[in-house]
Chains A and B, each alone.
Chain A
Amino acid sequence: MKTLKLALAAGAALTIMAGAAQAKTLVYCSEASPEGLNPVFYTAGTTFDATSVPMYDRLVEFKQGTTEIEPGLAESWEISEDGKTITFNLRKGVTWHSNDVFTPSREFNADDVVWSFERQMNPEHPYHKVGGGSYEYFNAMSMPDLLERVEKVDDYTVKFHLSRPEAPMIANLGMDFASIFSAEYADAMLEAGTPEMVDNNPIGTGPFEFQMYQKDAIIRYAANEDYWAGRTPVDNLVFAITPDASVRYAKLKAGECHVMPYPNPADVAQMRDEDGIIVESQEGLNVGYLAYNTEKEPFTDVRVRRALNMAINKDAIIDAVFQGAGKKATNPIPPTMWSYNEDIQDDPYDPEAAKKLLEEAGVTDLKTNIWAMPVQRPYNPNARRMAEVIQADWEKIGVEAEIVSYEWGEYLKRSKDGEHQTVLLGWTGDNGDPDNFLAVLLSCDAVGASNRARWCDEEFDNLVMEAKTETDQAKRVELYEQAQVRFKEQAPWATIAHSVVFMPMREEVKNYKISPLGKHDFYGVDLAE
């Protein structure tokens, strides 16, 4: 036993010494293994955090900590008069990473951009089938319909030809699936007969270079010395894969990692009191809502919808369902998104007024249902509980509601078909563009798809469709602000809540910015001595 203790002590001492001799290493306790090392095949944030975020760049980027677009590998861009052609002027002097089998002979240029999109859109491309050939996000964002052609004009100019004018396209190009790959590396690997190396041994232009990945244990990156936007302050970045939230917390406390995502909401209060740990928080890019089926009586009447909205006690929901990790939602888009309309007032919680409004609409003894999802989602950690709270609230104004639930796949399908009267659901944004909420969830085209309220309002629809083709950003903001006003007047949903994202980190971590898009980005993050 004595020997064992000695051995342990020696081990501990050596570990610490080894640590001190090393360069500045930032350790992030990530929540799971990435699905793979090439982001184009996947849609999970965990995978993006480990791939597209540290290792790759895109033509445009989201400004850190915001949903706004800024230049990335493209220095500037122009949109044609008809909105169907976007010309990108590419950045010069951007270098590629290297590894054991590949040393780049040239800098980033237009060939790389063309290659990155061709692989996903062209079934004849030599790399299309490599790695299974399923480009989930590219398809989910309707890119095959939208993107007709990517054309190289010269080494530093690329033209994107679209099938229709679409302003949110620029935001799409900041998404993870639009990461830019090295065409030279791809060609070399194809020639060597090992094309899968492109997916398994990433070469990017991003702030961190890939070093190694041990499945389910660890991912290592080193700072890219020649990063075009400036070298990141730390020398190494390590992802220590730690699936259990309580264990992540223990590691953070013990100093084994500097930053951890997704704490248990119940632990947050204690973390805040802990010495050496700080907790930052922000609303997530999501919304949880209750949609009224506006094609069914009596929800066709706006007074009924408003009355039911006024009867819901959202504070009680935030306490009971979110345990504080949520924020009341007023608008259908989260407050971190550009064009969020601050001036809109939420419906007051007022059961008496609600009752009166129902009477005014001539509705008595209303019997309805509330559909509750069977799964936990970021925007709704416990739908059953939420439904029970709403059921009790509505009972106070004489409305009797039955709670209905189905298996998740079935639930999505039936609610898409409009079988419900009221349904709980939500949405997590893809590209930070308001179009991704307002058009996807509430436009006339989306009835029978993601528009669970089956609400088709001409005034709202015109605003959103105009914003879709408008290229002037200030005008788009204005149109979306108006659309939110119209939405609130017409109340197709009860907007319930946005989740709150917590990021606990050690106090020596400097310059970490929470991303409203849910990414975990360590570029520019430093460790105080």
Chain B
Amino acid sequence: MLGFFIKRLGLVVPAFIGVTVLTFALIHLIPGDPVLMLAGERGIDPERYARLRAELGLDQPLVVQYWNYISGVLQGDLGNSIVTKKPVIDEFLTLFPATIELTICAIIFAVGVGLPAGMLAAVNRGKTLDHAVMATSLTGYSMPIFWWGLLLIILFSVTLGWTPVSGRISVMFWIEPITGFLLIDTILQGNWDAFWSAVHHLVLPAIVLGTIPLAVIARMTRSAMLEVLREDYVRTARAKGVSPKRVIMVHALRNALIPVITVIGLQVGVLLAGAILTETIFSWPGIGKWLVESINRRDYPAIQGGIMLVATVIIMVNLLVDVLYGVVNPRIRHQR
């Protein structure tokens, strides 16, 4: 088991280096000099221009810049934001809980709806219910997040007035962050009005962000279930008179869950990418919105550090899924 874990961990290192090279290259390949762009029509005198470039370290060759950056990262220093002058890591940690809170709720929504829907479709294969579930999930999967979000806002917030349009909590509340997770902080402070306001604000963004993973999970559950339902042991179970409910819930579902769990793990990346758009639409103060604003402001250290931290989270979640998978299924850890 330890050998398996170390092998998996070994794969993380090249993935990590790849991410740093890629983000660094992407940022520097985009044409445009951040200092000139900031100055705009007003222009800047050559002396000050040179000084500002030197301050940002942009006067050095790219290789040197990359080296400086990487050695900083290895010492846990992601640099300071050009705009706010605060350490990138601090800004990330302040905003990350909001993203996690949203992402977890989106996963709960996606699994809670996607799993039963996929099962129902598999059991009712070829019937109207199956077609309905599959058509809906295909639509959900193809739905552009931006449009979907606006659509829900117009229906539920503007027309029906059931949910607030955007934000994380009503502006009437003033919650000092303890853990950074509003649902937890409001309970800790015993402020139930604020708690409900936070829940209220979470509903639409969680649905929007969870839609694509929901569709993927529903389709994956359906096909995994169909495969398992064809297996000999299922037929045997049925033959010996086990109730259909028990065959599906116990014998089939358990085995069908293995590929589904993998897919859920992979969806974490999709969710974090989707969070960038969802947070922008719903003015959700998380890292997605922060990254977009950093890009607009050409805040190199923030973009670089932010992408790297997000990538780290995705790599770690996948490592965890890999390892868990090995724990669940001994065949995997003994292969190779």
Interface centre among B84, B172, B286 (most CB of A within 10 A): B172
Contact status B41-A15, CB under 8 Å: no
A22 to B174, CA, bound (A): 12
Contact status B85-A450, CB under 8 Å: no
Contact status B171-A240, CB under 8 Å: yes
- Which stretch from A54-62, A213-221, A512-520 is at the chain B interface? A213-221
Within 8 A of A (CB), among B150-184: 150, 153-154, 157-158, 161-168, 170-174, 177
Could you tell me the distance in whole angstroms from the C-beta of A390 to the nearest C-beta in chain B? 20
Could you tell me the distance in whole angstroms from the C-beta of B48 to the nearest C-beta in chain A? 6
Residues of A within 8 A of B167 (CB): 217-218, 240, 242, 256
Contact status B171-A27, CB under 8 Å: yes
Number of CB contacts from chain A to chain B under 8 A? 148
Interface centre among A19, A33, A244, A408 (most CB of B within 10 A): A244
Within 8 A of B (CB), among A224-253: 238, 240-244, 246-247, 250-251, 253
Contact status A217-B172, CB under 8 Å: no
Contact pick for B48, options A139, A212, A216, A450, CB 8 Å: A139
A458 to B172, CA, bound (A): 61
Contact status A8-B203, CB under 8 Å: yes
Contact status B41-A412, CB under 8 Å: yes
Contact status A36-B172, CB under 8 Å: no
Contact pick for B171, options A10, A218, A246, A412, CB 8 Å: A218
Known A12-B162, A247-B283, A407-B31: A450·B293 in contact at CB below 8 Å: no
- Which stretch from B125-133, B194-202, B222-230, B257-265 is at the chain A interface? B194-202
A118 to B39, CA, bound (A): 24
Contact status A18-B170, CB under 8 Å: yes
Interface centre among B36, B52, B154, B203 (most CB of A within 10 A): B36
| Binary CB contact string for chain A from 428 to 457 against chain B (1 if under 8 A, 0 otherwise) | 100000000000000000000110000000
Contact status B33-A8, CB under 8 Å: no
Contact status A246-B150, CB under 8 Å: yes
A132 within 8 A of B: yes
A32 within 8 A of B: yes
Could you tell me the distance in whole angstroms from the C-beta of A276 to the nearest C-beta in chain B? 12
Interface size class of A (residues with CB under 8 A): 35 or more
B253 within 8 A of A: no
Contact status A8-B163, CB under 8 Å: yes
Contact pick for B36, options A12, A214, A216, A409, CB 8 Å: A409
Contact status A15-B33, CB under 8 Å: no
Contact status A36-B203, CB under 8 Å: no
A247 to B233, CA, bound (A): 54
Could you tell me the distance in whole angstroms from the C-beta of A77 to the nearest C-beta in chain B? 27
Known A8-B163, A240-B283: A36·B84 in contact at CB below 8 Å: yes
A416 within 8 A of B: yes
A410 to B33, CA, bound (A): 9
Chain B: which residue is nearest A452 at the CB level?
B41
Residues of A within 8 A of B41 (CB): 377, 412, 425-428, 450
A409 to B33, CA, bound (A): 6
B314 within 8 A of A: no
Interface centre among B85, B94, B193, B197 (most CB of A within 10 A): B85
Residues of B within 8 A of A163 (CB): none
Residues of A within 8 A of B280 (CB): 243-244
Residues of B within 8 A of A449 (CB): 43
A266 within 8 A of B: no
Contact status A251-B166, CB under 8 Å: yes
Contact status A19-B170, CB under 8 Å: yes
Within 8 A of B (CB), among A159-214: 212, 214
A134 within 8 A of B: yes
B303 within 8 A of A: no
Known A14-B193, A35-B84: A242·B43 in contact at CB below 8 Å: no
Residues of B within 8 A of A134 (CB): 52, 55
| Binary CB contact string for chain A from 21 to 33 against chain B (1 if under 8 A, 0 otherwise) | 0100101000011
Could you tell me the distance in whole angstroms from the C-beta of A164 to the nearest C-beta in chain B? 18
A398 within 8 A of B: no
- A residues sitting closer than 8 Å to B (CB atoms) are 7-8, 10-12, 14-15, 18-19, 22, 25, 27, 32-33, 35-36, 41, 131-132, 134, 139-140, 212, 214-218, 220, 238, 240-244, 246-247, 250-251, 253-254, 256, 377, 407-410, 412-413, 416, 425-428, 449-450
22 A-B interface contacts by CB (under 8 A): A8-B200, A11-B199, A15-B164, A15-B197, A32-B293, A132-B85, A215-B94, A217-B167, A217-B283, A217-B285, A238-B171, A240-B167, A240-B171, A243-B289, A247-B153, A247-B165, A247-B282, A250-B154, A254-B164, A256-B165, A256-B167, A450-B41
A-B CB proximity, top 4 nearest: A11-B196, A409-B36, A217-B285, A216-B285
- B residues sitting closer than 8 Å to A (CB atoms) are 31-33, 36-37, 39-44, 48, 52, 55, 83-85, 91, 94-95, 150, 153-154, 157-158, 161-168, 170-174, 177, 192-193, 196-197, 199-200, 203, 280-283, 285-286, 289-290, 292-293, 297
